[in-house]
Amino acid sequence: MGWIKVVGIGPGDINDMTLKAYNALKECDVVVGYTTYINLIKPLIEDKEVISSGMRKEVDRCKKAVELALQGKNICIVSSGDAGIYGMAGLMYEVVHKENIDLEIEVIPGVTALNSAAAILGAPVMQDFAVISLSDHLIPWQVIEKRLELSSQADFIIVLYNPKSKERPENLIKAQKIIMKYKKGDIPVGIVKNASREGQETVITTLKEMANHEIDMRTIIIIGNESTYVRNGKMITPRGYIL
């Protein structure tokens, strides 16, 4: 029987991949993943059997990984960023547990898009923060609204994943209105598209103007708290040290 490693490959640039993730990809027999993520790591897996598929085929990919591992092959199933944050790790465990299969599974952590975007912007995430996906494909919008409401009320730094798509362009506007009930319109906001990937774009703006910029599913938005400021083109949230 083989093993399955659920690998976080980082935000996109191979230089941002951890050594542990790199070694896992080199040690496995088969790499399974979403086509876009497979393309990001092509130079590393040219000698591997590769099984890729499109969006919303996550369950199928996990079941395929199990099938191959039971045949004795060693499998890496990949996620961008960290496999345990909006990635494939949880689903992989769910599939194995539902089928009551005894397989060796290891989760290999990775650098997230949040980590990359924050570094690109400066140092915006230096205090407590909340990470919220605006995709209501798997989570009801009512639940997302509550999370936005409470994290804004507590003045968390808020990081938005999956902020806007063609299917639901209105979710970002709705989120902005909720957040502005508790945060001032001039709070700094950093917008990073394609963090650590080809076509990277960065904008620092305000909460009031946030939705006026080009935003899509490949964008990370970081909304500051009341102490966040912008200096020399960088977004900074003080940790609280006395200088």
Q: Give 92's contacts (C-beta < 8 A, 6+ positions apart).
A: 4, 6, 62, 65, 77, 105
Asked, for residue 243, whether it belongs to a domain, the answer is no
Residue finishing a domain among 65, 92, 111? 111
Q: Does residue 141 sit in the same domain as residue 87?
A: no
Supply the range of the domain harboring residue 95.
Answer: 3-111
Residue bearing tokens 């902005």: 176
Q: What is the pTM of this model?
A: 0.94
Q: Does residue 78 sit in the same domain as residue 141?
A: no
Output the pLDDT for position 215: 96
| 3-state SS, residue 131 | strand
Q: Does residue 169 sit in the same domain as residue 211?
A: yes
Which DSSP category does 81 fall into?
A: B
Q: Does residue 118 sit in the same domain as residue 100?
A: no
Output the pLDDT for position 169: 86
Question: Could you tell me the CATH number of the domain that includes residue 12?
Answer: 3.40.1010.10
Output the pLDDT for position 55: 85
Segments of the chain with pLDDT less than 70: none
Cross-strand bridge partners of residue 30? 49, 75
Q: Does residue 62 sit in the same domain as residue 169?
A: no
Asked, for residue 102, whether it belongs to a domain, the answer is yes
Q: Does residue 33 sit in the same domain as residue 87?
A: yes
Which burial class, exposed, middle or buried, applies to 142 when counting CB atoms under 10 A from its CB (0-12, 13-18, 19+)? exposed
Q: Give the whole-angstrom CA distance, residue 83 versus residue 227.
A: 31
Q: Give 83's contacts (C-beta < 8 A, 6+ positions apart).
A: 6, 7, 8, 89, 107, 108, 109, 110
Q: Does residue 122 sit in the same domain as residue 217?
A: yes
Asked, for residue 44, whether it belongs to a domain, the answer is yes
CA 37 to chain centre: 12
Q: Does residue 138 sit in the same domain as residue 194?
A: yes
Output the pLDDT for position 117: 98
Q: Give the whole-angstrom CA distance, residue 52 versus residue 44.
A: 15
